[in-house]
Amino acid sequence: MTAVGIDAIEIWSGKLKLDLPNTFAPVKGDDPEKYTKGLGLEDSSFPDTYEDIVTMGANAAKQLMDRKGLKPSDIGRIDVATESAFDHSKPVSTYIAGCLEQVYDGDFRHANKGERKFACVAGTQSIDDAYNWIKAGRNRGRAALVVATDTALYARGDPGEATQGAGAVAMLITEEPSIVELSTEQGYGSMDETDFLKPNQQFPSVDGKRSMQVYLARMREALEDFESVAWDTHPEDFEYIPFHTPFPGMVRKAGLLGFRHMIRDTEIEDELEPEIGRQPRETDFESREAFEEAIRAHMDELKRTDRYQSWYADTIAPTLELSRRVGNWYTGSVHIARASALRHAAANGTDLVGQKLLVGSYGSGAQAEIHAETVRDGWKEEIEGLNIDDQLESRYDLTWSEYELVHDVHEYDKETDIDVEEFTQPSGEFVFTGWGRMNE
């Protein structure tokens, strides 16, 4: 059977940086460790005044097309996943195609364009759409371009403000891909939830604590569903497990849940129970609250075991290296986590060919999706082509008052007397110069 999966990845970060421990925490009167240790974040990438989801997505896509030497006629489909669309009718992919047509010979008239929205899981859903299109044999030898692009901004003062971020991930989905082959099997956990909503408003109304519980519940269901069609997973089956990463602290919880779920009961009994005791059984407790409290204490003990600590350090921590520095990119976030793990392996000379990844995507509202990926023999060359480290190093470090000003510029309904044309705009990339107009 022909392998289908991700052939190339390019990442485009927002050009500004908000330093959480040194700039954000002092203004909020918080201990910087709430951000660095609690949420697990150092910085967030923030969009400059001339950046939006279209410019970042188009820049990531152009970088990918240039590196792979592609022409518009090589691409039969452009899918954009975003939680930050500004237009309720025209898909963002049409704007991105319009930008790309300004710089390439040829156009995308022949390409099927769409937009996927289901909070952060939409990036993975777009990859699934592309996968199905190729597997169905409808692609006529062409590749699919998937762009996950978001400005994940919250209202100022919202608890989510610490987890903001902005950037785009462009991915090329092809037959016989260079980076990873996707598994046919998928698992889902999906339920009608109202943890994160934007009813006719730019910034989300989010029930933060509840959203974390919903994330974990749906992820556990998706893992069980995946096991029902694929195989009974075991923690050591996977070299890395990239999860959707709204902030690394969330993935610490997801990692522990996944580890406890995947580890065999016999291993718990033989290896871990002598150290941490028997897992509490509900029948041993008089109330549900007492049982849940005992489970929490048991999980805390499990987290402290050497077995868990070294598994987490090897399998989960490498997926968080980029997220710690960029914050939440919504639809791009799980794809940043995968890229982060592969970048870590390339830097450490790890041979990944044939190794498996388990990818856990999640979108509020709510749906989790689990699938496996097998690393292909071109992965290292592709990942070494990323310039994300240079991009992150060259971000402009915002002061607090600059942050407030740029946040105001991005707020659609805010009346300001700021003239964005006063700000310098870079050349050689797509920038936002006014409604519906992109220039290179």
Among positions 125, 151, 163, 183, the unique one binding ligand CAA when judged by CB under 6 A = 163
Residues with catalytic annotation?
83, 120, 244
Q: Which is nearer to ligand CAA, 177 or 187 (CB)?
A: 187
For strands 165-175 and 180-190, give the pairing.
unpaired
Report how far residue 272's alpha carbon sits from residue 268's, in angstroms, rounded to the nearest whole number. 5
Residue 215 CB, shortest distance to ligand CAA, in Å, is 4
Q: Indicate the SS3 state at residue 110.
A: coil
Q: By CB under 6 A, which span of 90-98, 160-168, 296-304, 387-395 interacts with ligand CAA?
A: 160-168
Tokens of 158: 């919202």
Report how far residue 179's alpha carbon sits from residue 177's, in angstroms, rounded to the nearest whole number. 6
Q: Which is nearer to ligand CAA, 216 or 276 (CB)?
A: 216
Q: Which residues contact 62 (CB under 8 A, 6 or more apart)?
A: 99, 100, 103, 429, 430
For residues 14 to 53, the per-residue mask of contacts with ligand CAA, x marking binding by CB under 6 A and - elsewhere, is -----------------x-xx--xxx--------------
Residues 318-377 that bind ligand CAA (CB under 6 A): 328, 330, 362, 364
Residue 407 CB, shortest distance to ligand CAA, in Å, is 16
Residue 129 CB, shortest distance to ligand CAA, in Å, is 21
Among positions 114, 208, 378, 385, the unique one binding ligand CAA when judged by CB under 6 A = 208
Residue 88 CB, shortest distance to ligand CAA, in Å, is 21
Q: Which is nearer to ligand CAA, 75 or 241 (CB)?
A: 241
Q: Which residues contact 351 (CB under 8 A, 6 or more apart)?
A: none
Torsion, Cα 324 313 361 169, to 10 degrees, reads 50
Strands (E), 218-300: none
Q: Which is nearer to ligand CAA, 316 or 431 (CB)?
A: 316
Q: Which is nearer to ligand CAA, 163 or 174 (CB)?
A: 163
State the residue number with the nearest CB to ligand CAA. Answer: 38
# of chain residues touching ligand CAA (CB under 6 A): 27
Residue 141 CB, shortest distance to ligand CAA, in Å, is 36
For residues 72 to 111, the per-residue mask of contacts with ligand CAA, x marking binding by CB under 6 A and - elsewhere, is ----------------------------------------
Report how far residue 68's alpha carbon sits from residue 65's, in angstroms, rounded to the nearest whole number. 5
> For the purposes of burial, counting CB atoms within 10 Å of the CB of 232, is it exposed (0-12), middle (13-18) or buried (19 or more)?
exposed
Residues 243-282 that bind ligand CAA (CB under 6 A): 244, 246, 249-250
Residues 186-205 that bind ligand CAA (CB under 6 A): 196
Nearest to 320 by CA among 225, 246, 256, 373: 246
Nearest to 332 by CA among 163, 177, 119: 119
Q: Which is nearer to ligand CAA, 120 or 438 (CB)?
A: 120
Among positions 166, 169, 173, 206, the unique one binding ligand CAA when judged by CB under 6 A = 206
Nearest to 206 by CA among 158, 244, 169: 158
Most distant CA pair in the chain, distance: 72
Residue 217 CB, shortest distance to ligand CAA, in Å, is 11
User: What is the length of the chain?
Assistant: 440
Residue 174 CB, shortest distance to ligand CAA, in Å, is 28
Establish how many alpha carbons lie within 13 A of residue 104's alpha carbon, considering only the half-sphere containing its beta carbon. 23
Q: Which residues contact 272 (CB under 8 A, 6 or more apart)?
A: 263, 302, 305, 307
Residues 283-312 that bind ligand CAA (CB under 6 A): none
Residue 155 interacts with ligand CAA (CB under 6 A)?
no
Residue 10 CB, shortest distance to ligand CAA, in Å, is 22
Among positions 25, 78, 96, 120, the unique one binding ligand CAA when judged by CB under 6 A = 120
Report how far residue 274's alpha carbon sits from residue 306's, in angstroms, rounded to the nearest whole number. 13
Report how far residue 190's alpha carbon sits from residue 332's, in angstroms, rounded to the nearest whole number. 20
For strands 16-19 and 43-46, give the pairing.
antiparallel
Among positions 70, 155, 212, 346, the unique one binding ligand CAA when judged by CB under 6 A = 212
- Name the site residues for ligand CAA (rule: CB under 6 A): 31, 33-34, 37-39, 119-120, 159-160, 162-163, 196, 206, 208-209, 211-212, 215, 244, 246, 249-250, 328, 330, 362, 364
